A and B are shown apart, each in its own frame.
Chain A
Amino acid sequence: MSDTSSIERILKEEKINTWDIYVEEAEEYEIQLRNFDVEVTRGPIKNSGYAVRVIRPKRNKVVGIGIGTGSSLEAARIRKCLDTASVGADITHFPGYALPRPEKYPSVRIADPKIVSKAETVVKDKTEELLSLLKESKKVLPTFGKIRTYNVSTTIANSEGLQAEKKETFFYIELALKAEREGKLAEYWPMIPTRRAEDVHLDQLVPKWTRLAEDTLSAKVPKTEKTTVIFTPQTLSEILPDTVGFHSFGSSVYKGVSKFKRGEKIASDELTVYDEGVHDYALGSSPFDDEGVPQSKTLLIEDGIHKNFLYDAMYAAALDAYSTGNGLKLPAFSLAFTRVDSKYSLLPSTQPTNTAVKAGGMSLNEMIADTKEGIYVEQFSSLSSDSLTTSFGSEIRNAYLIEKGQLSTPLKGGQISGFVLDSQSGKADGLLSRVSGMTDEVQMAGRCIAPYMRFSGIQVAGR
């Protein structure tokens, strides 16, 4: 399937001159657990397909772009796909487009050699390790578990002579650990998507997850107040890419919906943020984006000042800029991890790669010790934020009260809310204008590379 020559031959026969082809082949293995037993063994789950985009100039910069998708390389199927793309190119309108030309790509590691060579074994081994650690602990019950690998091969070609290929891997683990005491129930429900299985250190994580589940048994609902809150890299990954990313898109500027202006102060002085598309083994890293443009590292916010916007090929053409390698095929649900095996059918749009926050100057222990009163939140129910308004709010699932510089009473229930960015220019009511500390160590979490961050004056609602 990775050979694009049969599609290119028919494009030539059909006299279609401006096009690109995206081919994807994916193979998945998975074990799902029910308590300590295997519920189902899945795999190989094989999916492959291609998308052809046909681009037609219209007036001024405006172009029509049509997409056709298929999973068969039979000539009749390819022709049907090209018909669909041609009709789309005739009837649609976009503000501009220039196909990327061949370029040298940066070197970035995105494949786990073990998953490439022995994916099924990786799944079995990791499952055994998990079950062994949990059986040893005897303190919590795994109610369910998912351990999964993906091998994905991608080829992009276009009528400008670009030919780009990559192989990448993904590892996914999700489970829920239940603690029970005197009729009370509590759980911790971690979900970790990574590139490599070895980045999930179960020997360290299982004891931590167990403690969180057990502590939540004695959790209280927080009181309603404004207080200091510490967010983990994982919780930050649920709000930063969708907000800082969205307002940094060239497409948002073009459509008049970005809050950012280059050179304006939008966050606390200590905050520096990059879109970092070439960080080894980060989830959003790749040598090239889904249009074949090299991914890069783009400074978005420096010392609280907005610096640069992100572009895909479309809005680079529309706004006379260069693509920053942010033309990505990402599904609407950013937390959903299931489309890595079938993203070929999506149209690329401007999206963040990895949102990276520059580290601060204290350890997590020092940050907690330095907090007189506040809340440390390990997990929210579902901390999504509204991209446009940047409003967020979520139920606290696993958290601790901080009293006199120490973690004290576990918390569950109630909610934390606010805006990620200032609700209006100069109002300084957004989370990013209330930064009061960052740790000196960053972690990869989802599509984020971030330290633990502390924010002051955050609204908590509860008792």
Chain B
Amino acid sequence: MVNDSSSEQAKDVLTKALEVLGDDVEYADALYENVEGVSIRKDKAEERVSAPATLGGVVLRAFKSGQWREMSGGDFSEKNVKDMAEKLALFRPVSTSGIPVKLRELKPWKLDEEVCVRIRPSDVETEEKLANVRRLYNEAVSYDKRIVNTTVAYSDTTLERIFANTEGSLLRQSVPRISLFVMPIARESGKMDYESLSRGGTIGFELINELEEKTLRETVENSISLLNATSPPSGKFTVILDPGMTGTFAHESFGHGCEADQIVRKRSYLAAHFGKRLGFGGLSICDDGSLPGGNGSFLFDDEGIKSRKNYILKNGILTGFLHERYSASLMNTEPTGNGRRESFLRKLFVRMTNTYVEPGDYDLDEMIEDIDQGVMLVHPVSGMEDPLAGGMELKSKRGYVIENGKIGRVLSTLTLTENVLDFIASIEAVGKKDQFNMERGTCGKGHEDLVPVGDGGVYVKAKAVVGQG
């Protein structure tokens, strides 16, 4: 290993490895990563303190005749990285069915920056972090005797990534990321249920210090309220999505179909709709890797492209796709800063960053007042993409029946399904800026390759099939 090297040494190792590859390939890049941090999890019985999932390593990647070849490992010694580069230089692509794509050349650039936060998690002792976790746990369990257990999970990471390529780019970023999850479990008369609180992003330890007591109390009260929840009605209803659910729709249901690697693979129903109107003029969806504090934010992606804001749906019209370098080259456009890897052990794909629905003109009361029978879905649990066929599945932890223009009884665990294009066409109202909120999330490309993302937006009103989740 690994990770003994200073940043300057790491840059030197990567640059030398790329020199070894020389003219043997059309293009090559190298990415070094080092992860430091801590995870703490406390419940009624246990206090777990552990390290991040991966510690660090390097991935070298070469491009020739339209194909990639990559090698990676946790051993970052100069000798090992040079050996990897020598093997990679021998890369002989297999025959392809068409004319191989040439990567579009990009202007090299340099960067060495840290994402600044008020209190760097690495400056706080583990004991202090554990003390805060214990404080939150004690507060949560003390509010009501029906709380039989509470899980408090805290984690922070500082991810250092150094990128170099054969075009001459040499970049370094250090990105701190923090997360907090509190789940009070309520039990009464043999019935159990829970709500949870989730916060996080590329922000500092101030997140923990500034968490208000009333926020925690509301989470406990929501857990208890679910003891009296009923199962949701089944069928098609007018629905109101809270900002978190709206974000999960923007990301899972719509965003995945806008990932250009799916277009290139011929796996997106949205390919045929580029430039067309899909929704009303008040609906805009964007993906922004440069959003300050966003859980999916960074300075440059894993191909060295600067993060930026990209509209995918603007004023109801499908205006753009999200790209890495290959898809951008093939589709004759610019990469959008969406080439991401879970770690040096995983392949790079087009991935979203912070995806959200931009605010509109409606108050929440205004949206609800004319609904005779509907359902409000609150607090996303998960969503699943269907980029080829445009199906949609969103799960929420909590919901409410809407009857005669008023919010009624509480519902536990809901699933919303619909055809995405029908759902977008049915959106008739988008909430105002004061409702805007971003949630912390983790996104998989299909079933694996998990990267941190942010999802959010405002309340929206639409029509969809609802059932239990």
Contacts and interface: CB of A to CB of B under 8 A. Distances in A.
Nearest to A40: B68
Contacts of A42: 69-72, 347
Interface of B: 1-4, 43-57, 66-75, 91, 93-94, 96-98, 126-127, 130, 148-149, 185, 187, 189-194, 234-236, 262, 264-267, 269, 272, 342, 345-347, 381-382, 384, 386, 388-389, 391-393, 395, 412-415, 417-419, 444, 446-450, 465-469
A458 to B, nearest CB: 11
Interface residues of A, number: 97
B447 A337 contact: yes
9 contacts: A40-B69, A45-B73, A46-B73, A186-B388, A187-B267, A191-B446, A338-B449, A395-B391, A414-B417
A346 B41 CA distance: 12
B450 A91 contact: no
A92 interface: yes
A37 B96 contact: yes
Given A393-B415, A417-B415, 5 more contacts: A32-B347, A66-B49, A185-B389, A347-B48, A461-B235
B389 A412 contact: yes
A193 to B, nearest CB: 10
A17 interface: no
Contacts of B2: 71-72
Contacts of A381: 384, 386, 391, 393, 417
Interface in A236-291: 251, 254-257, 259
Q: Which of B93, B97, B189, B386 has most A Cβ within 10 Å?
A: B386
A352 B445 CA distance: 26
Contacts of A255: 43-45, 148-149
A174 B4 CA distance: 37
A67 B449 CA distance: 25
B342 A418 contact: no
B234 A417 contact: yes
A333 B417 contact: no
Given A335-B447, A345-B55, A71 B347 contact: no
Interface stretch (A7-15, A162-170, A384-392, A400-408): A384-392
B419 A413 contact: yes
Q: Which of B2, B189, B419 has most A Cβ within 10 Å?
A: B2
A70 to B, nearest CB: 7
Interface string A446-463: 000000000000011111
Contacts of A74: 1, 4
A255 B141 CA distance: 13
B296 to A, nearest CB: 18
Contacts of A37: 66-67, 96-98
Given A71-B1, A143-B388, A333-B450, A393 B265 contact: no
A256 B73 contact: no
Interface string A66-109: 11111110100100000010011001111100000000000000
Nearest to A64: B47
A35 B66 CA distance: 13
Nearest to A339: B53
A33 to B, nearest CB: 9
B260 to A, nearest CB: 12
A60 interface: no
Nearest to B271: A185
A94 B345 contact: no
A203 B381 CA distance: 38
Contact of B96 (A38, A251, A331, A424): A38
Contacts of B262: 143
